[in-house]
Structure 1
Amino acid sequence: MANPDFRRLWTAGFISETGDWIFMIAMPVFVYQLTGSVTATATNFILELLPGLLLSPVAGVLADRWDRRRLMIGVSLLQVLVLLPLLAVDGPGQLYLVNLVTCAQAALTTIFQPAKYALLPSVVAPEDVAAANGLASLNGNLARLLGASCGGFVVGGMGLPGVLVLDAASFLLAVALLARPFGATQTAVVREPVWRAWVAGLKEIRNQRGLRLMVLPVGLIGLAQGLFAVLFVVFVTEQLGGGEGETGLLRGVQAIGGMVGGALIGTLARRTDPGRLLGWALLVFSATTALAWNSAYVTTAIWFQAALFAVLGAPGIGVFAGRMAIVQLHTSDATRGRVLASFQSVFDGFTALGMALAGALAGMLGLPFALDVQAALLGVAGLLALWHFRPGTRTAEPDTGTATDTGAASTARAPERAPSPTP
């Protein structure tokens, strides 16, 4: 945080994500108020998710094709303009406008995120990349708490105009923070057609051993996440005897652990390399998740479960920070946006697969065993990370000029700068 470029990038991301959460929570509430239809509300939720699945490869190409800072500014300004059609909404007859704006905002958010994470390694020193990712994830949790909490209240107390004003203000503040150039820029800008540029990103993954080794762990993490998303609701309902309130509480308290983990990740990241950070965070995540699932045999008290699920947020930040740092440091600056987007597609695809398999797995094996399988997948991913990225193991191809071991920097090296004081 002593780095002024990172501080501006971090703050801009926090403000922008807060606006995103206000919008994401407020729109389905507004749709239900407008229509009274559960189906219409569910449709609005789905439209928030689809662009992320469909546009990730294109978003990665854009993050490498254009200057990332300017891309983030352009996206933020477009997010303001896209809100304007909502001013014409005065009844259920304009529901299509609400859905179009929701879809457009989600698409723009999908473009913003790869640009932010592709830019991050250029503004911090290589040894600070994991810590920077942890702090970026921390601001995601802060934005989720603030934005999600405000979204429902704003649409209830101030109506749709209040949502528009707050959301637009968040994007304009982000633009103001990004207006001044950073000390570092992209080393190259891709000019190929979109499909060729996307294929070049896939080739980078194929050619870099460190990236190849990350595909399976990322897939397993996504699979576990998909199983969790579905089985968690069943667990709260059947094992704990809870309802909507308890489900929301246990999901929400994870942000508390996430904030603690984000605050501590800088210290941890300075003492270990990203591979070990990822591996041990996954093992702790796996053990804590298994404890939460199986503690229901001892007690179903919500306060006890809330404490366990709050703890879960901390290793989750370590998993995110380690995973992102490994990919960022094993990727050249010129292809980083596409590689990050491709890994996000792997994660999203396996998450969707986990969601699809959750019901069949629980029906075939029973809920308790299915929950333990979910925790075990995290443990296997952790063991793979510790094995693949163990100290002294070469994880980059010698002829690329990138890192030769898990603790070294790749060609995505930040410019030389005077060392900052250690907090």
Structure 2
Amino acid sequence: MQSKKKSYAAGHLSSYLHLLRSNANYRRYWLSGCVSQIGDWFNYIALFVLLNQLTGSGKAVSWFLIAKHLAPAIFGPAAGVIADRYSRKTVMIGCDLIRVAVVLGYLFVRNPADVWLIYLLAFSQEAVWTFSNPARQASVPDLCTNKEELSIINGLSGASWSVMLATGAALGGFFTAQLGWQAAIIADSLSFLLSAGMMATVVLPKREKKQESTFSLGRLTGWDDLKEGVVYVQAQPKIAALLLVKSGWALSGGVLVMLAVFGEQVFATGGQGGGSGILFAMRGLGAAIGPILAWRLFGEGSAAMRQVVGKAFFVYAAAYVLFSQAPNMLLAAVWVCCGHACGSIQWVFSTTLIHRSVEDRFRGRVFSAEMAFLTLVMSLSIWLTGKAMELKVDPRQIVLALALISLLPGIGWEIYLKRNERESRE
């Protein structure tokens, strides 16, 4: 009797362990990302603490986050063209090596007069990441050995990002409190060096170069490639809708500023990174379990995933309403965990649906467009949050307003789904 091949599903932990054991090429790619991600969270916590020490202002944190989120909005279109035109592996390695030098620049910050340098370096660091991210995202389907692995890889990617956030934020808070923010910055720079070395061992298939019969300024600058990507998305309404899921979440993106404010001021812990570390760690824990639990409950079908994305907006909003009224750090941490479980569902499910829907030659441009929209909306949300703090609005009221705003994309997504259902019946 012939034995049946075991099926692996994204809602089961065993599937992720099997993937890492059986797909060595993806395992190296995954480890490269994990190393740089944990370093990133050392960087975040260290800089939150540094800005608090230099300015004592939540507004400074908001400007730091704006600087980080503006870069993808500005450079995203060019980054997508490069990810689709050149070797994605070379782009990822080059970006890691550049970030080693950029991150070390934070060590030149000495006093409040140097805060501008933090903003400049944050913008530069994120600009380099902007070129790395679409190349990384677009490479994912090329690492799959079968169709089953795509959802599992995206689930693992979201979970590992979340675990690295939880681990990196907690360790970053402890590391910064014990050894100082400078040591955390050095650790981050070394993480990029190690990440580049690991990525060099990953094998990605060579992609066919597009035949360019005529020379033109548009082809030379990438403008023609950019227009081609826009036309492609316009012709695919479902892909266009998926591009806006993360932007919908970003409408309430100012809550990331408020996690630092609640951690270091509302639930004061001495301003040494411990409070921020706890809340960001719980954000990571929630984000790790959200997609896996949702896949377990609702399955991996595309229609089911679209339905769950909409419902997640409403649960996210409810969690942050409760966070805004939390009387202590313990309850606040619980609601952060719940909220970001839903945020991660939106993130991972929309990414998986894009991977399933978009042709390889357009992936870089689609993912860079998604990130450009996301970071532009995020920057606006963070800026408005900073203005509210500048006007001395109660932090709890700010979070409550952001939670209610996050209902809007949920309502919009439900209307979109109902319209699609009606059109499919006609």
- Which bracket does the TM-score occupy, shorter chain normalised? 0.7 to 0.9
Counterpart for residue 210 of structure 1: 238
Q: Provide the aligned C-alpha RMSD in A.
A: 4.3
1:52 to 72, 85, 94: 72
For 1:171, give the aligned amino acid: F
Counterpart for residue 142 of structure 1: 163
Q: 1:353 to 1:45 in 2, by over 3 A?
A: closer
Q: Aligned residues, how many?
A: 383
1:316 to 333, 338, 343: 343
Q: Which runs of 5+ in 1 are unaligned?
A: 395-423
TM-score where L is the length of structure 1:
0.73
Q: Is the 8 A contact 1:8 1:177 kept in 2?
A: yes
| Cα distance between partner residues in 2 of 1:195 and 1:70 | 22
| Cα distance between partner residues in 2 of 1:46 and 1:53 | 11
Q: Is the 8 A contact 1:282 1:382 kept in 2?
A: yes
Counterpart for residue 374 of structure 1: 405
For 1:261, give the aligned amino acid: G
Q: 1:148 to 1:252 in 2, by over 3 A?
A: closer
For 2:411, give the aligned amino acid: V
| Cα distance between partner residues in 1 of 2:366 and 2:249 | 17
Please tell me whether residue 257 in structure 1 is matched to residue 286 in structure 2: yes
Correspondences of 1:6-405 after superposition (within 5 Å): 6-30=26-50, 33=53, 35=54, 38=57, 44-85=64-105, 99-124=119-144, 125-159=146-180, 162-188=183-209, 192=219, 193-215=221-243, 217-223=245-251, 225-226=252-253, 243=267, 248=276, 252-264=281-293, 267=296, 271-287=299-315, 289-290=317-318, 293=321, 303-354=330-381, 373-384=404-415, 386-387=417-418
SS of equivalent residue, structure 1 residue 253: helix
| Cα distance between partner residues in 1 of 2:76 and 2:210 | 18
| Cα distance between partner residues in 1 of 2:399 and 2:181 | 43
Counterpart for residue 401 of structure 1: none
Q: Is the 8 A contact 2:162 2:284 kept in 1?
A: yes
Q: Is the 8 A contact 1:16 1:174 kept in 2?
A: yes
Identity value in percent: 24
| Cα distance between partner residues in 1 of 2:32 and 2:313 | 29
Q: 1:388 to 1:272 in 2, by over 3 A?
A: farther
Alpha-carbon offset, residue 137 of structure 1: 1.6
Alpha-carbon offset, residue 46 of structure 1: 4.0
Q: Which runs of 5+ in 2 are unaligned?
A: 1-18, 213-218
TM-score where L is the length of structure 2:
0.73
Alpha-carbon offset, residue 147 of structure 1: 2.5
Q: 1:120 to 1:268 in 2, by over 3 A?
A: farther
Deviations 1:179-226 (CA, angstroms, capped at 9, x unpaired): 124253434469832333222221111122321343555553433x34
